[in-house]
Structure 1
């Protein structure tokens, strides 16, 4: 599906998985909560904070925010293609390959539970 491309993508990561990738320098391969890239076929991402908030509300309600981080990914540093695909009435970016640690340009805290 075609959609405007973005210079950065956002990905909600479980802190332990991101820390392991960062500490070893091995590409990040988690797709979403408890699911790997190998299981899903791509890494789920969001285009903006509105999408992040929606994903948090739908899929991460039982996870303490302190166990999560928000990865800011520089698209130009990815080796894998990004496809914008429809899910739940919205268009989300999906990365079809691992995320090199060097592509993550910022790691942020997530908004608290509402």
Structure 2
């Protein structure tokens, strides 16, 4: 089982559970708004992404733990920004049964979003 993570606003995850699928690409953008994929990360990338995209966020966040083998939509590792780091991108809606865990994601004492280790997912 290969696991990837997606940062989600708690209210958007709850709405997706009601709707039957998750369609948010990243903060403020969804597949319904023209985004072509859902951004995901490997554990060691979460802190970097959170501190870049959600630095000023006040809403509660959670980590969707996704089993890539359960995904209905295709997932591809890509470096679309040319920064030398590839990220997993889910090309289509995230089926809810691919989400094997939902974890709260809170700021550290210093106010930054913390790093996540692969061991923390076990």
Instruction: Say yes or no: TM over 0.5.
Output: yes
Deviation at 1:29, TM superposition (A): 0.3
User: What TM-score, normalized to structure 2?
Assistant: 0.80
3-state SS, counterpart of residue 49 of structure 2: helix
Residue 84 (structure 1) aligned with residue 80 (structure 2):
no
Runs of 4+ in structure 1 off by over 2 angstroms are none
Deviation at 1:40, TM superposition (A): 1.6
**TM-superposition CA deviations, 1:20-62 (whole Å, max 9, x none):** 111x2511000000000242200000012x2000001111011
Alignment of 1:60-79 (within 5 A): 60-64=54-58, 67-79=60-72
Q: Give the RMSD, CA atoms, in angstroms.
A: 1.5
**TM-superposition CA deviations, 1:66-102 (whole Å, max 9, x none):** 5211000011111111111003331100000111111
Point out where structure 1 has 5 or more consecutive residues left out of the alignment. 1-5
Residue 29 (structure 1) aligned with residue 32 (structure 2):
no
Q: 2:60 touches 2:106 (CA, 8 Å); kept in 1?
A: no
Instruction: Give the number of equivalent residue pairs.
Output: 106
